[in-house]
Amino acid sequence: MRLLALKVGGFLILSLCCLFLSGCLYYYKNDLCEGNNVTQAKIDSLRPYMTKKQVQKVMGTPVLLQSLNLNRWDFIYIFRPRIGGPHVIKLCTLYFVEGRLCYYKGDWTPAHLSYMPQ
């Protein structure tokens, strides 16, 4: 009788351990947002001939600064949903001439800047 109780108890403990460990395989995964939080409102607030400091105040620090071309700022926004759904990747490139904002290239439509064609 005692041997049977040990076997049943051992089986229950082993079953509970397997049950709890199997729950570790499924974990919660957050939505992933990377890069600059660029919105249409931020793009619309850009004006021609703004200084780099003014642009940085509106847009934040660019993700990519090219060391050979400091007159080009690249802003990248990547959104990866945790469950299905397509990844969203948006790019925005701002061009400066003599320290002033002149051209724009990217996925948003600017209200006051001239668009630089591909």
The domain locations on the chain are 31-115
* pLDDT tens, position by position, 30-69: 788 888 888 889 988 888 899 999 999 999 988 877 777 8
pLDDT higher than threshold 80 for residue 97: yes
3-state DSSP assignment of residue 12: helix
- Structure pTM? 0.67
Report the run of H or E that residue 96 belongs to, with start and end: strand 88-97
* Torsion, CA 85, CA 118, CA 39, CA 83, rounded to 10: 10
pLDDT at 104: 86
- Residue 118: pLDDT band (50, 70, 90) is very low
Topology of domain 31-115 in CATH is Beta-lactamase Inhibitory Protein; Chain:B, domain 1 (3.30.1450)
Q: What is the pLDDT of residue 6?
A: 53
Contact partners, residue 115, CB within 8 Å, separation at least 6: 103, 104, 105, 109
Please tell me the distance from the alpha carbon of residue 3 to that of residue 9, in angstroms, as a whole number: 10
